[in-house]
Amino acid sequence: MTSADKEERVREDERRRMVKRLQLSRVCYPGEDVSEAMMRVKRHLFVPPSVMEQAYGDYPLPIGEGQTISAPHMVAMMCGYLELKKGEKVLEIGAGSGYHAAVIAELIGETGHVYSVERIQWLVDFSRENLKRAGYKHVTVMQGDGTLGLPEHAPYDKISVTCAAPAIPPPLLEQLKVGGKMVIPIGRYLQELYLVKKKEKGIEQEKKCDVAFVPLVGQYGFR
Ligand code: SAH
């Protein structure tokens, strides 16, 4: 066995332990589909080399530019609330490392597509590179202000916002299908994760839990 094979074995074992811990945790209880998706995504390919050894810990990690890759339990929870299905079209706001987009990509399969908008060009390049290296072809990362959504590919079945907004940006609600779902953290310092369902008339929103995300910065975000 080559040293690269050995390294892969170690990472696989760490990943299995991470998923096991999530399955035992009282906060998130990922379903079978989310657990399998997280088992398939090599999280260590999405973090900077300086924190590679911590890739499978259940906490956020720095990815540069003052931004973070969310903790695995948060990714599991948000994917679970969205009830992602094969073939869906999903919009993510805040590509960061590309990890969360990769987990979504696993859940929607190759007949689906993830569009992710990232504000910081360096992170656009970083996430594209990571997604390419990990082999995800059905994820497209675009540079822009995600508070405006991505009208050219709308409407979306699901929207996942991975930074905290002052309120739901109206363009995101417009670009969500009727019957679609969005997860979004709301608040500046004390934030809560909301699950929003778009109905024929209006929306239904449910507060899920307290969270800590970096701010959504943009026209309908924080300035
Ligand atoms: N989903 C990421 C974590 C992202 S952290 C992962 O799996 O690694 C939040 C990201 O949102 C940061 O990269 C930040 O630059 C980005 N962001 C903040 N405001 C934004 C905006 N208006 N549009 C797009 N991205 C934004």
Pocket flag, ligand 1, residue 91 (CB < 6 Å): no
Q: How far is the CA of 207 from the centre of ligand 1 (A)?
A: 21
| DSSP 8-state class, residue 194 | E
Residues carrying an active site annotation: 70
Q: Name the residue at shortest CA distance from atom 11 of ligand 1.
A: 94
Task: Tell me what pLDDT residue 210 has.
Answer: 96
Helix 32-40 with 3-24: angle, nearest 10 deg: 160
Spatial CA neighbour of 158 closest among 70, 83, 75? 83
At residue 26 the predicted structure's pLDDT band, cuts being 50, 70 and 90, is confident
> Checking DSSP bridges between strand 176-186 and strand 191-198, what pairing results, if any?
antiparallel
Residue 65 Cα: closest atom of ligand 1: 15
Q: How far is the CA of 94 from the centre of ligand 1 (A)?
A: 3
d(CA 204, CA 123): 33
Task: Tell me what pLDDT residue 65 has.
Answer: 87
The tokens describing 20, both together, are 């096991």
pTM for this predicted structure: 0.98
Looking at domain 3-211, its CATH architecture is: 3-Layer(aba) Sandwich (3.40)
Q: Name the residue at shortest CA distance from atom 2 of ligand 1.
A: 96
Phi then psi for residue 212, to 5 deg, are -140, 105
Spatial CA neighbour of 139 closest among 127, 147, 150, 151? 127
Q: Where are the domains of the chain?
A: 3-211
Q: What is the pLDDT of residues 73-121, one digit of tens each?
A: 999 999 999 999 999 999 999 999 999 999 999 999 999 999 999 999 9
Q: How far is the CA of 221 from the centre of ligand 1 (A)?
A: 12
Q: What is the pLDDT of residues 56-69, one digit of tens each?
A: 999 999 999 899 99
Task: Tell me what pLDDT residue 1 has.
Answer: 85
Q: What is the pLDDT of residues 146-157, one digit of tens each?
A: 999 999 999 999
Pocket flag, ligand 1, residue 175 (CB < 6 Å): no
